[in-house]
Structure 1
Amino acid sequence: MKATIAWKGDALFEAKTDSGHTLTIDGPPDQGGKNQGPRPMETMLVGLGACTSFDVMMILRRSRQVVSDCVATVKAKRADEIPAVFTDIHIHFEIKGTDVSPKQVERAIKMSADKYCSASIMLERGGVKITHDYTIAES
């Protein structure tokens, strides 16, 4: 796996992935950015959210749960000092579906956190406290 990140001036970067996708990343305005893309640390949260959401949906589908929507909201706290690393991350899953089992959702989240989500496991091994919760709504 490889990504190439090219500086485009000021605080703007263009990332290209091995799979052929491009992502614009920009710094905050007070550091020369022009708000043309997400901040670098925001992309880490997006990666974590996408990684665990992918796992949760795959596990729920394999468990024959009828899910019509899954939204993960990822909130993080950062250290006050430099480096301003993540210290705490909370992931809230909003699951919609028909007769979705809370037990299956809990199982899917736990399996993602403990076994499958490389991003989550890597961050936790680095000292980040990651918590999860969920809501289920009928659709």
Structure 2
Amino acid sequence: MKATLDWQDGLEFDATADSGHRVSIDGPPDLGGKNAGFRPMEMMLLSVGGCSAMDVMHILKKSRQDVTGCRIEVEGERAETEPKVFTDIHVQFIVTGRGLSEKHVARAVELSAEKYCSASIMLAKAVNMTHGYTIHEAE
């Protein structure tokens, strides 16, 4: 797996991965950026959320759960001093569907957190990772 970042200007980089997809990464204006893209630490939260979301949705579909929506909110707390690493990350799943089994949702979140999500499991070696879920009945 490989990623390439090409400098554009200031702190802006055009990033490309093996999949061929592109994303802009930039810093805030007070550090010389133009706010033209994601911050690197934001990308880490998105990576955890995306990885976990794919796991949970795959598991719920295999469990024949009638999911109509899924939102993942990832919140990170950072250290006060440099290097301002994440100290805590919480991943919250808001799952909507028809007659969803709480047991199946809880198990999907647990399996993602403990067995499948490479991003969460890797970061959990250095960060306090927590996961939660809420279930909403579809209208």
Identity of aligned residues (%): 54
Structure 1, residues 63-86: CA drift from partner, whole Å, max 9, x if none? 110101100000000011111110
What's the counterpart of residue 129 of structure 2?
Answer: 130
What's the counterpart of residue 54 of structure 1?
Answer: 54
Q: Does 1:90 align with 2:90?
A: yes
Aligned residue type for 1:85 = V
Aligned residue type for 1:131 = T
Structure 1, residues 43-82: CA drift from partner, whole Å, max 9, x if none? 1100110000000000000111010110000000001111
Whole-Å separation in 1 of the counterparts to 2:130 and 2:30: 31
Structure 1, residues 97-120: CA drift from partner, whole Å, max 9, x if none? 000011111100000000000000
Compute the displacement of 1:133 (Å): 1.2
SS of residue matched to 1:45? helix
Whole-Å separation in 1 of the counterparts to 2:133 and 2:111: 14
SS of residue matched to 1:115? helix
Whole-Å separation in 2 of the counterparts to 1:83 and 1:41: 11
SS of residue matched to 1:94? strand
Structure 2: unaligned runs, 5 residues or longer: none
C-alpha RMSD over aligned residues: 0.7
Compute the displacement of 1:16 (Å): 0.6
1:57-72 alignment to 2 at 5 Å? 57-72=57-72
Whole-Å separation in 2 of the counterparts to 1:3 and 1:62: 31
Whole-Å separation in 2 of the counterparts to 1:136 and 1:72: 12
TM-score by length of 1: 0.97
Whole-Å separation in 2 of the counterparts to 1:81 and 1:66: 45
SS of residue matched to 2:5? strand
Compute the displacement of 1:94 (Å): 0.6
Aligned residue type for 2:61 = R
What's the counterpart of residue 42 of structure 1?
Answer: 42
What's the counterpart of residue 114 of structure 2?
Answer: 114
SS of residue matched to 2:82? coil
SS of residue matched to 2:124? helix
Q: Which runs of 4+ in 1 moved over 3 A?
A: none
Compute the displacement of 1:35 (Å): 1.1
